[in-house]
């Protein structure tokens, strides 16, 4: 490696006063601030940057920019860093990827020896026999996985996201993009300009003094027009209604940031990407595209070689030749426009030594620069529905006429749209910017008119300005894709033109099939360098034209985006009741139940159960869904939602209800209390609260908009506390004076409103999920902590203690209450859960009525179907608690076993001192006393008995009615 | 029963601030939800003077917010100065909702990190109301400037309040983010009225 | 149906006679010379014994098994685009059999067994990587569902087990099994037989094998209408009618049997015979990262976080998620998919923040109300469906093709697919697969 | 992200709404037959063209509304910004 840094050059972007030391494969090197990793390495004389994926061939610089497929490197713990783009930093530890044991001598090059057989897709054709050896083959193949190394243990970093609503987003900060942004800004639009490179100016930056002057003038105009300029940023994708993903990369590989922008108008000014030329040896280090050579020489003052052949089909190639000569390189100019062409790049080992031309001449050279043509990166336009169309005269794809889509909300300008002088591009850019601003004004007007909360608009809608831009021209360009020899088409994927032709012959003759068979265009640049050559080779192979073959679909993102940026800061809402801090202080074991954090227990759930059964306990049930229902038609609504009847429910009473969906499947359950003639408080399950509210609104708004009823979610308005246990009345009596709690005055399944611990407007209902005498208090949430503390303070002598979710689960199972979603599933209809008593088929209507009618009465012309049945089950061994979801089996045909059900809930009951379960079993096995076989997760069979009643404990309900 | 200090918001801190923004907990404010009358169509809207998407201060000093069609949230009122017509349902949500105020010139940028609503002057002026997700919590968002200073009210279910407060506070603490926009925020396109 | 010509279905399997068999030796011999085409195409004939609509993995498998198992070779597979251009080439290539219902498990188990020997059957390496499949649970409820699946699986003879965080960490060290995440990993359903397959290879393998048996595959051939007679509706369409042919963009052909294997487009083909299906078309998105050296040894799925991830032998991470909630035929995909996906992946593996998403795409899924397929005969005689696969189509292709071929050839609905016929909806007998998580990859 | 024309709020991000499904009349539960009811429950038109559907403006105004969307091109009959005049189908 001999140094290749040139003396100071005008326009160089390096700061020679700020040298930076770094390492490359462990070796200490240095560069300057402003260098990219690749330019610093090239300046140090490095020629080989990676090994190719399949054949492990040495690879050098191709484009010296973000899209360079050969210069992906590992930097510290970051894989696949674009060495041609990432700026050098002090103490950076960079290393090559895909090289083992070293870049200079790569053991896997051996595959090249067998390369004869390693055509694209070879792996589909071998390694099939013997079958048992395939896993071993697979491990060997896996060693060839390309890419860098990720450390899954590396510390996560915080990425910010933001939303933006610009009038105009300009993708691309070259001359046309800058001009468009400035013109749009001058016309009053809020403009964001997004430039992929580290500075705006596009190719002007490496295009001599006049180019640089023009770039800074254009940039200054954009800044003066108030344009928000983002550099080292990419518009990664465009979706419906100009929803854009803009990714801002950060210096030093810092956290990227995602901006989600709703742009009124998108201007695509992404410029052109230079296309490699396909010929034998075109992937040899030393073969470079003209833009790569010019960037190296002009931006970073690096001499890309000492003796160059410049194969040029256009002005950019001619300029490269001039630049190289100015940099002291001996240049042989091969003008493609005269019909001369390159057929091979030859040399030994890693070096280029000779260039072979079509006329048979051989030119000594260590650098071959090709300028064979351009590819328009139309990706963003394609995402907007604009198709690329091939123009054989210009030998490249263009966006379909007229480069406008979706009511003019997407425009294009610059090289992607056509050719011309700098003045022509700037003038087209300005016209595009003015058009974009005018269109944005129209769309902004429409948005404001339509948006309920926007400021009123008085004037008429600004007319949708027609596109009267003078189109850019299209220059004639030789159609150069593939020479007479075969070469590399996809450098990332090691796919050659011969691979593509063979694939076509094998029947993979459309562009999508050939892409999948060979993996061409699927590498790091996602086809930006490779697609058009792939299409051209395929067209030739199949005897069709490039237009007929067409291109593959460009998929987002335009440039790869880190998962960190996409994820941003995770928003995971947490809901807590007003008692949360008290629970924490009391040492709760928390559990996540949906978004809620709840106390699972406070130490010993079994003791909590015993305390409720013996004394009194209090539990925070605030997450229970609660809906305030008011209006003259409230009763009709309840009748529609629930299976049972509500007309005769007295004011001051509560009733249990079950809701089914229209297919008869159980949706939710809960109790609802009648607070007044037209006023109910409905409770739902905690997990179903949101869905039930939407379900009700759907019925009200779409089926019964005439009903006079208002439904308001009030879950969070109340802290809900269940006071349960034989001593609950005594406890509550100490804190209540305006409600008569005597069993005669306040019966089971009644509701009262009163004052608890000095807090007025509490709703109290006497219900018993735990099976004990209990009162559910709904206290205005702000007063929740006060009431909770008062209950604990007032009941010390009664043994009051808080209990958690687990104790409640045990007690509800002792009582045989099912839980929707656990003991029922997505097919459980009401009769399965034993709810026939609740289903009132004589009601005019309720949700699920027809299905439940047929389930109970039988379908017209059919019998009632055999359903599963929910039953209480007790294992014969009282100490054995079958894990929930264990299967229940019965003898099947031929000595086999057949699944007939499953355990849906199971616990050890401290009250009964035995295991208890709920289970779903086939309807012909549910009789009391039936012996069942439960299969444990270990495979052991356990006997269990079906019980007569769902309730294992106190089936008569004497305790809760007491 | 006195409205004791326990009514003050679900948060312990109650206040946070940073460069150009201030977040405060105003959850103790009385909040009354009122619906349009069943019987006298439009009576409540005529009386309150604002429709869906708008907010205004009424004679009693309460901020009347049209949070949904035919639904108003009255902030600062418990009983409500509603018209004397029948068929008007009201629900006291003082305890059910958290209420935070985000103020200051940087408030729009803080909001832009957690909410997709376009807060440009023309799109969401003072007195605008909309339903929106803020840090994935369903909120009513109200622009309610105080003495000429940008100010937004966020109304969320009480149980999400603490999370919401912390999320907005954290978003504010990251302002300005690592790389601030290179140009000041400009007003959106405002065609001549 | 009674296959014309042969009269009786073949009991003995026919093996494809390839113009050139694939093997390592053949590769070396052939060197860089091209191989013969894998397909048999050319002009459309005027009539076929059966026309399969949809040249994806289901259509090709059905055609292959019709030819190989039943000797019905006068078959055309028609596709409006290119081979495997729909869901077959867009899925995340995961296979498994750890379903919830016994009928589901038995069905997919058969599929997995066919997949295991598919490379030999088709003489094309489909690169089945049987690396194990983990479905993570982040809640008690999810853990219960995992146990439910494990216990049903074991009962049916499929290898599945619920494992705890320690064992999960041992199998996949990159996963964060700590208490730190908002929804920590509580356990997982471990299914050792699950894995990934090169999906395109399965398509090509079936296509090549079917062609070698005489089946024609016509790409860029769109079915515009299905001709029927005798049905209740207009033009003789609708229940009670029978299929007589298809009209295509390349002309009309007559056939007594039309097989609808068009996944996301299934409703449109069914409408051509006057049938409405219980299907709604939703995009399912997927994405791939840049390659990195292998670190993820198993397929990892999280139902509650709506994400599944595996690492290909090329080193790329392949991601999928739940279907998009918005029913549409538009495959433009969305940014929010990528955002949510990345967020969820980083919750599972926080150290992957620097990995880069390279490409995202979407395919169309034919979602049914019970997350189970619609396969077999329909009220229109000769019109068979192999649709409604939702997100499970790729996993099921071999068994679906095999069983449907038997159904077409014999006129009897085989036991394995009996639970999945169209008439279950009118009878209100849905399959219980919905009980498993909505994301069950 | 698609903008959905909520008749009350105006254009909103589709993530703020829920597509409830195809708008189908509910058969009379008193007289319906299993065939009719289950067609209502399960069958879909699922066209690749225009479809009448019900939406719920979940995060916005909370209203359910009916609109028409072209399921092939993902465009509304009355798009929020009056964009893309004419029949979709060309798009994408």
Summarize pLDDT for A255-275 with one digit per residue, the tens: 999 999 999 999 999 999 999
Q: What percentage of chain A carries pLDDT values higher than 70?
A: 96
D4 within 8 A of D55, measured Cβ to Cβ: yes
C217 within 8 A of C77, measured Cβ to Cβ: yes
The residue among C404 and B13 whose pLDDT is bigger is C404
> Does residue A133 sit within a domain?
no
Structure-block tokens of residue A391: 């123009």
Q: What is the pLDDT of residue A140?
A: 74
Q: What percentage of chain B carries pLDDT values higher than 70?
A: 82
Residues A184 and A324 in one domain: no
Q: What is the pLDDT of residue A127?
A: 78
Rounded to whole angstroms, how far apart are CA atoms B127 and B63? 10
Contact residues for B166 (Cβ-Cβ < 8 A; gap 6+): none
Q: What is the pLDDT of residue A320?
A: 97
Residues A949 and A889 in one domain: yes
**A512 contact C CB<8A:** yes
Contact residues for B45 (Cβ-Cβ < 8 A; gap 6+): B36, B51, B70
Q: CATH says C132-196+280-367 is which class?
A: alpha beta
Q: Do residue D61 and residue B132 have CB atoms under 8 angstroms apart?
A: no
* Of residues A239, A697, A850, nearest to D64 (C-beta): A697
Residue (of B132, B186, A221) closest to D59 by Cα position: B132
Q: Give C252-295 pLDDT, tens digit per residue.
A: 999 999 999 999 999 999 999 999 999 999 999 999 999 999 99
Residue (of C250, C264, C236) closest to C393 by Cα position: C264
The answer, yes or no, to whether the previous bond of C259 is cis (omega within 30 of 0) is no
Query: Mean pLDDT, to the nearest integer, of A38-52?
Result: 94
Which one-letter DSSP state was computed for residue A123? G
Structure-block tokens of residue D64: 């359910």
Which one-letter DSSP state was computed for residue A472? P
Residues A810 and A943 in one domain: no
> Does residue A473 sit within a domain?
no
Residues A400 and A487 in one domain: no
**D92 contact A CB<8A:** yes
C143 within 8 A of C304, measured Cβ to Cβ: no
For residue A385, which residues of chain D lie inside 8 Å, CB to CB? Answer: 90-92
**Segment of A346-350, A676-680, B13-17 carrying the highest mean pLDDT:** A676-680
Question: What sign has the CA pseudo-torsion A790, A796, A800, A802?
Answer: positive
Q: Give A882-913 pLDDT, tens digit per residue.
A: 999 999 999 988 888 999 999 999 999 999 99
Q: Give me chain A's average pLDDT, please.
A: 93
Q: What is the pLDDT of residue D80?
A: 61
State the pTM of this model: 0.94
User: Can you say whether residue A780 is alpha, beta or left, with left for phi > 0 and alpha for psi between -120 and 50 degrees?
Assistant: beta
Q: What is the pLDDT of residue C24?
A: 84
**A703 contact D CB<8A:** yes
For residue D91, which residues of chain A lie inside 8 Å, CB to CB? Answer: 385, 405-406
CA-to-CA separations, A575 to B116, B163, C123, in angstroms, rounded: 22, 7, 57
**B54 contact D CB<8A:** no
Within 10 angstroms of residue A860's Cβ, the number of other Cβ atoms is 9
What is the nearest CA distance from D39 to chain C, expressed in angstroms? 7
Residue A233 sits in a domain whose CATH number is 3.50.50.60
Could you tell me the pLDDT band of residue C223, with boundaries at 50, 70 and 90? very high
Could you tell me the CATH superfamily of domain C47-93+200-277+371-435? FAD/NAD(P)-binding domain (3.50.50.60)
Give the per-residue SS3 of D16-53.
HCEEEEECCCCCCCCCCCHHHHHHHHHCCCCCCCEEEE
Instruction: Count how many domains chain A has.
Output: 5
Could you tell me the pLDDT band of residue B179, with boundaries at 50, 70 and 90? very low
Calculate helix-pair angle for A175-186, A422-450, nearest 10 degrees. 40
Residue A947 sits in a domain whose CATH number is 2.40.30.110
Q: What is the pLDDT of residue C314?
A: 87
Query: Mean pLDDT, to the nearest integer, of A686-715?
Result: 96
Q: Which residue has the tokens 């992937």?
A: A283
What is the nearest CA distance from A527 to chain D, expressed in angstroms? 19
**Residue of chain D minimizing CA distance to C365:** D46
Could you tell me the pLDDT band of residue A190, with boundaries at 50, 70 and 90? very high
Could you tell me the CATH superfamily of domain B13-28+95-175? Probable tRNA modification gtpase trme; domain 1 (3.30.1360.120)
What is the nearest CA distance from A264 to chain D, expressed in angstroms? 10
Pairing verdict, β A93-96 and A15-24 = parallel
* Of residues D15, D16, D63, nearest to B69 (C-beta): D63
Rounded to whole angstroms, how far apart are CA atoms A797 and A453? 58
Q: Do residue D61 and residue B131 have CB atoms under 8 angstroms apart?
A: yes
Instruction: Please state which of the ranges A595-604, C38-47, C326-335 shows the lowest mean pLDDT.
Output: C38-47
Give the per-residue SS3 of A704-769.
CCCCCCEEEECHHHEEEEEEECCCHHHHHHCCCCCCCCCCCCCCCCEEEEEEECCEEEEEEEECCC
Q: Do residue B132 and residue D8 have CB atoms under 8 angstroms apart?
A: no
Q: Do residue A502 and residue C125 have CB atoms under 8 angstroms apart?
A: no
Structure-block tokens of residue A16: 């020679």
What is the nearest CA distance from D56 to chain C, expressed in angstroms? 12
Could you tell me the pLDDT band of residue A156, with boundaries at 50, 70 and 90? confident
Q: Give C156-210 pLDDT, tens digit per residue.
A: 999 999 999 999 999 999 999 999 999 999 999 999 999 999 999 999 999 999 9
Residues A633 and A593 in one domain: yes
Q: Give B100-137 pLDDT, tens digit per residue.
A: 999 999 999 999 999 999 999 999 999 999 999 999 99
Q: What b/e sequence results for A924-951 when a residue is b if at least 16 CB atoms lie within 10 Å of its CB, and e otherwise?
A: ebbeeeeebebbebeeeebebebbeebb
Residues A101 and A169 in one domain: no
**D20 contact B CB<8A:** no
Rounded to whole angstroms, how far apart are CA atoms C440 and C133? 11
For residue D47, which residues of chain C lie inside 8 Å, CB to CB? Answer: 267-268
Give the residue ranges of chain D where pLDDT is below 50: 83-92
Could you give the dihedral angle defined by the CA atoms of residues C10, C13, C19 and C23, in that order, rounded to the nearest 10 degrees? 180
Q: Give A207-240 pLDDT, tens digit per residue.
A: 999 999 999 999 999 999 999 999 999 999 999 9
Q: What is the pLDDT of residue B7?
A: 54
Calculate helix-pair angle for C102-116, C140-156, nearest 10 degrees. 70
* Of residues D15, D58, D61, nearest to B69 (C-beta): D61
Could you give the dihedral angle defined by the CA atoms of residues B47, B50, B56 and B62, in that order, rounded to the nearest 10 degrees? 40
Q: Do residue D92 and residue C332 have CB atoms under 8 angstroms apart?
A: yes
Test mutation, A128, A383, A596, chain C, max C CBs within 10 A: A128
What stretches of C168-215 adopt beta strand conformation (E)?
A: 187-191, 195-196
What is the nearest CA distance from B170 to chain A, expressed in angstroms? 10
Q: Do residue A850 and residue D82 have CB atoms under 8 angstroms apart?
A: no
Domain parsing of chain C, residue ranges:
47-93+200-277+371-435, 132-196+280-367
Looking at A337, A371, A405, the residue that finishes a domain is A371
pLDDT of A827 > 90? The answer is: no
Q: What is the pLDDT of residue A112?
A: 52
Q: Do residue A122 and residue C27 have CB atoms under 8 angstroms apart?
A: yes
Q: Do residue D62 and residue B133 have CB atoms under 8 angstroms apart?
A: no
Contact residues for C307 (Cβ-Cβ < 8 A; gap 6+): C301, C319, C320, C321, C341, C344, C345, C348, C439
* Of residues D8, D15, D59, nearest to B52 (C-beta): D8
Rounded to whole angstroms, how far apart are CA atoms D5 and C334? 19
pLDDT of A113 > 60? The answer is: no
Is the pair D, B in contact (3+ CB pairs within 8 Å)?
Answer: yes
Rounded to whole angstroms, how far apart are CA atoms D48 and A332? 59
Is the pair B, C in contact (3+ CB pairs within 8 Å)?
Answer: no
Query: Mean pLDDT, to the nearest integer, of A491-499?
Result: 93
> Does residue A37 sit within a domain?
yes
Q: Give B18-69 pLDDT, tens digit per residue.
A: 999 999 999 999 999 999 999 988 999 999 999 999 999 988 889 999 999 9
Contact residues for C214 (Cβ-Cβ < 8 A; gap 6+): C40, C67, C73, C74, C75
Range D3-76: architecture per CATH: 2-Layer Sandwich (3.30)
**Residue of chain D minimizing CA distance to A555:** D92
A383 within 8 A of A239, measured Cβ to Cβ: yes
Q: What percentage of chain A carries pLDDT values higher than 90?
A: 82
For residue D46, which residues of chain C lie inside 8 Å, CB to CB? Answer: 267, 277, 279-281, 327
Test mutation, A237, A520, A566, chain C, max C CBs within 10 A: A566
Residues A264 and A391 in one domain: yes
Q: What is the pLDDT of residue A400?
A: 81
Residue (of A680, A609, A667) closest to A638 by Cα position: A680
Residue A24 sits in a domain whose CATH number is 3.10.20.440
Query: Mean pLDDT, to the nearest integer, of A486-493?
Result: 94
Is the pair D, C in contact (3+ CB pairs within 8 Å)?
Answer: yes
Residue (of C164, C169, C161) closest to C192 by Cα position: C161
Range of the domain at A326: 15-106+276-371
Rounded to whole angstroms, how far apart are CA atoms C71 and C76? 14
Contacts with C, A 816-875, CB within 8 Å: 821-822, 825-827, 851, 854, 859, 865
Looking at A781, A814, A847, the residue that finishes a domain is A814
Contacts with D, C 249-288, CB within 8 Å: 265, 267-268, 276-281
**Residue of chain A minimizing CA distance to D42:** A663
Q: What angle do CA A685, A687, A691 make, to 5 degrees?
A: 90
pLDDT of B181 > 50? The answer is: no
The DSSP element (H or E) to which D5 belongs, if any, is strand D3-6
What is the nearest CA distance from D33 to chain A, expressed in angstroms? 8
Q: What angle do CA C213, C72, C120 make, to 5 degrees?
A: 40
pLDDT of C30 > 90? The answer is: no
* Of residues D2, D30, D82, nearest to A240 (C-beta): D2
Q: Give C403-421 pLDDT, tens digit per residue.
A: 999 999 999 999 999 999 9
Instruction: Please state which of the ranges A423-427, A624-628, C119-123, C267-271 shows the lowest mean pLDDT.
Output: C119-123
Pairing verdict, β A287-289 and A367-371 = parallel
Structure-block tokens of residue A846: 């309720």
Q: What is the pLDDT of residue D84?
A: 42
pLDDT of A542 > 80? The answer is: yes
Query: Mean pLDDT, to the nearest integer, of A925-935?
Result: 90
Q: What is the pLDDT of residue B59?
A: 84
**Residue of chain B minimizing CA distance to D61:** B68
Q: What is the pLDDT of residue A865?
A: 60
What is the nearest CA distance from A353 to chain C, expressed in angstroms? 27
For residue D34, which residues of chain A lie inside 8 Å, CB to CB? Answer: 850, 854, 859-860
What is the nearest CA distance from D59 to chain B, expressed in angstroms? 5
Q: Give me chain C's average pLDDT, please.
A: 91
Residues A715 and A756 in one domain: yes
What is the nearest CA distance from C370 to chain D, expressed in angstroms? 10
Q: Complex ipTM, two decimals?
A: 0.94
For residue B187, which residues of chain A lie inside 8 Å, CB to CB? Answer: 190
For residue D81, which residues of chain A lie inside 8 Å, CB to CB? Answer: 241, 407, 409, 443, 446-447, 450
Q: Give A518-539 pLDDT, tens digit per residue.
A: 999 999 888 999 999 999 999 9
Test mutation, D3, D16, D18, D57, chain B, max B CBs within 10 A: D16
Test mutation, D23, D42, D92, chain C, max C CBs within 10 A: D42
């Amino acid at each position: 490696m001999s140094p290749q840094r040139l003396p100071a050059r005008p326009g160089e972007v390096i700061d020679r006063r700020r040298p930076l030391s770094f390492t490359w494969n462990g070796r200490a090197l240095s560069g300057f601030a402003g260098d990219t990793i690749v330019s610093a390495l090239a300046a140090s004389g490095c020629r080989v940057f990676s090994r190719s994926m399949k054949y492990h061939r040495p690879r050098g610089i191709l484009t010296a920019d973000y899209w360079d497929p050969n210069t992906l490197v590992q930097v510290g713990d970051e894989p696949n860093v674009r060495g041609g783009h990432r700026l050098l930093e002090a103490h950076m530890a960079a290393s090559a990827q895909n090289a083992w044991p070293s870049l200079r001598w790569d053991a896997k090059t051996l595959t090249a020896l067998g390369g004869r057989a390693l055509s694209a897709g070879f792996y589909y054709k071998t390694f099939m026999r013997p079958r048992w050896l395939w896993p071993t083959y697979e491990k060997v193949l896996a060693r060839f996985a390309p890419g860098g190394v990720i450390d899954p243990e590396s510390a996560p970093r915080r990425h910010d996201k933001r939303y933006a609503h610009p009038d105009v987003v300009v993708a691309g900060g070259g001359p046309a993009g800058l001009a468009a942004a400035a013109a749009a800004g001058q016309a009053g639009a809020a403009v964001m300009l997004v430039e992929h490179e580290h500075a705006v100016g596009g190719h002007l930056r490496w295009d001599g003094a006049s180019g640089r002057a023009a770039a800074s003038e254009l940039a200054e105009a954009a800044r003066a027009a108030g344009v928000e300029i983002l550099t080292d940023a990419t518009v990664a994708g465009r979706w419906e209604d100009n929803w854009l993903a803009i990714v801002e990369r950060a210096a030093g590989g810092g956290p990227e940031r995602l901006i989600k922008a709703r742009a009124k108008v998108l201007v695509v000014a992404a410029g052109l990407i230079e296309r490699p030329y396909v010929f034998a040896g075109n992937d040899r280090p030393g073969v470079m595209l003209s833009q790569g050579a010019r960037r190296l020489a002009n931006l970073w003052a690096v001499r890309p070689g000492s003796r160059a052949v410049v194969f040029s089909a256009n002005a950019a190639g001619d300029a490269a030749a001039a630049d190289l000569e100015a940099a002291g390189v001996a240049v042989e100019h091969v003008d493609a426009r005269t019909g001369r062409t390159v057929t091979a790049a030859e040399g030994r080992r890693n070096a280029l030594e000779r260039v072979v031309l079509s006329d048979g001449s051989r030119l000594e050279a260590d650098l071959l620069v090709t300028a064979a043509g351009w590819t328009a990166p139309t990706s963003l336009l394609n995402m907007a529905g604009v198709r690329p169309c091939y123009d054989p005269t210009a030998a490249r794809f263009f966006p379909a006429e007229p480069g406008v889509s979706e009511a003019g909300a997407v425009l294009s300008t610059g090289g992607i749209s056509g050719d011309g002088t700098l003045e022509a591009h700037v003038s087209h850019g300005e016209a595009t910017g003015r058009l974009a601003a005018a269109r944005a004004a129209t769309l902004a007007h429409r948005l404001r008119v339509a948006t309920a909360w926007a400021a009123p608009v008085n004037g008429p809608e600004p007319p949708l300005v027609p596109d009267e831009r003078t189109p850019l021209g299209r220059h004639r360009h030789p159609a150069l894709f593939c020479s007479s020899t075969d070469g590399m088409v996809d450098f990332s994927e090691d796919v050659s033109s011969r691979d593509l032709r063979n694939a076509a012959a094998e029947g993979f003759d459309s562009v999508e099939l050939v892409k999948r068979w060979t993996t061409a265009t699927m590498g790091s640049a996602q086809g930006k360098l490779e697609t058009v050559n792939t299409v051209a080779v395929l067209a030739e192979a199949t005897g069709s034209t490039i237009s007929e073959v067409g291109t593959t679909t460009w998929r987002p993102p335009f440039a790869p985006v880190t998962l960190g940026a996409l994820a941003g800061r995770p928003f995971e809402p947490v809901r807590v009741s007003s008692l949360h801090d008290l629970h924490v202080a009391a040492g709760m074991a928390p559990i996540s139940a949906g978004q809620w954090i709840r106390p699972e227990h406070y130490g010993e759930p079994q003791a909590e159960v015993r305390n409720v059964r013996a004394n009194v306990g209090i539990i925070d049930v605030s997450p229970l869904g609660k809906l305030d229902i008011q209006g003259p038609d409230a009763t009709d609504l309840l009748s529609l939602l629930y299976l049972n009847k509500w007309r005769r429910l007295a004011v001051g009473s509560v009733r249990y209800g079950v809701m089914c969906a229209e297919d008869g499947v159980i949706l939710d359950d809960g109790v609802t209390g009648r607070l007044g003639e037209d006023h109910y408080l409905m409770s739902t399950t905690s997990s179903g609260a949101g869905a039930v509210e939407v379900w009700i609104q759907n019925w009200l708004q779409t089926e019964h908009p005439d009903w006079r009823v208002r439904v308001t979610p009030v879950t969070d308005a109340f802290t809900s506390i269940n006071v349960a246990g034989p001593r609950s009345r005594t406890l509550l009596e100490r804190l209540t004076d305006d409600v008569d709690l005597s069993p005669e005055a306040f019966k089971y399944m009644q509701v009262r409103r009163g004052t608890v611990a000095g807090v007025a407007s509490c709703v109290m209902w006497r219900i018993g999920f735990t099976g004990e005498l209990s009162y559910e208090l709904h206290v205005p949430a702000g007063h929740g902590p006060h009431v909770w503390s008062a209950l604990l303070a007032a009941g010390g002598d009664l043994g009051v203690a808080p209990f958690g979710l687990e104790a409640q689960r045990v007690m509800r199972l002792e009582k045989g209450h099912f839980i929707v979603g656990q003991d029922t599933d997505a097919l459980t209809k009401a009769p399965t859960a034993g709810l026939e008593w609740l289903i009132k088929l004589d009601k005019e209507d309720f949700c699920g009525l027809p299905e439940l009618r047929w389930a109970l009465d039988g379908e017209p012309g059919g019998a009632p179907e055999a359903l599963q049945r929910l039953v209480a089950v007790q294992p014969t061994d009282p100490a054995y608690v079958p894990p929930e979801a264990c299967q229940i089996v019965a003898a099947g045909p031929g000595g086999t076993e057949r699944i007939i059900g499953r355990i849906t809930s199971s616990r050890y009951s401290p009250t009964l001192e035995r295991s208890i379960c709920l289970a779903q079993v086939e309807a012909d096995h549910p009789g009391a006393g039936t012996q069942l076989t439960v299969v444990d997760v270990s495979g052991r069979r356990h006997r269990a008995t079906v019980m007569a009643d769902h309730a294992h404990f106190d089936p008569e309900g004497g305790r809760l009615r007491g | 029963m006195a409205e004791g200090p326990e009514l003050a918001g679900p948060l312990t801190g109650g206040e946070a601030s940073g460069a150009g923004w201030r977040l405060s907990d105003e959850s103790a404010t009385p909040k009354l939800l009122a619906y349009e009358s069943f019987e006298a169509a439009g009576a409540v809207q005529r009386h309150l003077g604002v429709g869906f998407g708008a907010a205004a201060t009424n004679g009693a000093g309460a901020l009347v917010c049209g949070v949904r069609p035919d639904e108003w949230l009255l902030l600062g009122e418990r009983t409500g100065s509603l018209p004397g017509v029948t068929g008007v349902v009201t629900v006291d949500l003082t305890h059910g909702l958290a209420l935070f105020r985000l103020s200051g010139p940087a408030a729009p940028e803080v909001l832009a990190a957690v909410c997709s609503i376009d807060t440009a002057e023309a799109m969401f002026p003072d007195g605008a109301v909309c339903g929106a997700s803020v840090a994935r919590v369903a909120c009513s968002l109200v622009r309610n400037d105080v003495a000429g200073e940008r100010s937004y009210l966020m109304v969320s279910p009480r149980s999400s309040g603490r999370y919401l407060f912390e999320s907005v506070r954290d978003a504010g603490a990251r302002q300005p983010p690592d790389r601030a926009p290179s140009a000041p925020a400009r007003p959106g396109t405002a065609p001549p009225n | 149906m009674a296959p014309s010509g042969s009269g009786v279905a073949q009991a003995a399997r026919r093996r494809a006679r390839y113009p050139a068999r694939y093997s390592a030796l053949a590769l070396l011999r052939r060197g860089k010379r091209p191989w013969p085409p894998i397909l048999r195409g050319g002009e459309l004939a005027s009539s076929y014994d059966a026309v399969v609509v949809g040249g994806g993995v289901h259509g090709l498998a059905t055609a292959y098994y019709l030819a190989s198992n039943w000797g019905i070779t006068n078959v055309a597979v028609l596709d409006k685009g290119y081979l495997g251009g729909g869901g077959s080439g867009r899925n995340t290539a995961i296979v498994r059999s750890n379903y919830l219902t016994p009928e589901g498990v038995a069905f997919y188990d058969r599929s997995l067994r066919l997949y295991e020997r598919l490379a030999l059957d088709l003489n094309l390496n489909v690169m089945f990587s049987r690396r194990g499949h983990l479905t993570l649970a982040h809640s008690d409820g999810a853990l219960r569902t995992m146990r439910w699946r494990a216990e049903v699986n074991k009962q049916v003879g499929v290898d599945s087990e619920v494992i705890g965080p320690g064992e999960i960490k041992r199998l996949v060290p990159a996963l964060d099994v700590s208490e730190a995440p908002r929804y920590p990993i509580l356990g997982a359903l471990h299914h050792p037989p699950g894995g990934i397959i090169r999906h395109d290879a399965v398509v090509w393998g079936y296509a090549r094998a079917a062609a070698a048996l005489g089946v024609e595959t016509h790409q860029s051939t769109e079915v515009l209408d299905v001709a029927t007679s005798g049905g209740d509706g207009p033009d003789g369409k609708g229940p009670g009618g029978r299929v007589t042919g298809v009209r295509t963009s390349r002309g009309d052909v007559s056939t007594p049997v039309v097989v609808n294997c068009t996944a996301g487009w299934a409703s449109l083909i069914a409408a051509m015979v006057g049938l409405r299906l219980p299907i709604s078309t939703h995009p399912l998105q997927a994405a791939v990262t840049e390659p990195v050296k292998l670190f993820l040894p198993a397929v990892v799925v999280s139902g509650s976080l709506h994400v599944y991830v595996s690492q290909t032998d090329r080193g790329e991470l392949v991601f999928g998620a739940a279907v998009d909630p918005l029913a549409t035929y538009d495959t433009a995909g969305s940014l929010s998919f990528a955002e949510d996906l990345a967020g969820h992946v980083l919750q599972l593996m926080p150290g992957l923040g620097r990995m880069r998403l390279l490409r995202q795409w979407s395919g169309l899924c034919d979602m049914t109300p019970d997350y189970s397929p619609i396969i077999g005969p329909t009220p229109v005689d000769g019109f068979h469906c192999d649709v409604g696969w939702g997100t499970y189509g790729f996993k099921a292709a071999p068994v679906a093709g095999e069983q449907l071929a038997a159904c077409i050839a014999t006129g009897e609905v085989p036991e394995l697919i009996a639970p999945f016929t169209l008439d279950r909806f009118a009878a209100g007998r849905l399959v219980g697969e919905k009980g498993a998580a909505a994301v069950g990859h | 992200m698609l903008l959905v024309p909520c008749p009350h709020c105006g254009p909103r991000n589709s993530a703020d709404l829920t597509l409830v499904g195809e708008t189908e009349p509910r058969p009379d539960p008193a007289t319906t037959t299993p065939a009719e009811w289950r067609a209502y429950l399960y069958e879909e038109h699922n066209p690749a063209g225009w479809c009448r559907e019900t939406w719920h403006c979940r995060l916005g105004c909370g209203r359910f509304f009916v609109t028409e969307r072209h399921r092939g091109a993902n465009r509304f009959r009355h798009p929020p910004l009056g964009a893309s005049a004419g029949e979709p189908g060309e798009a994408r």
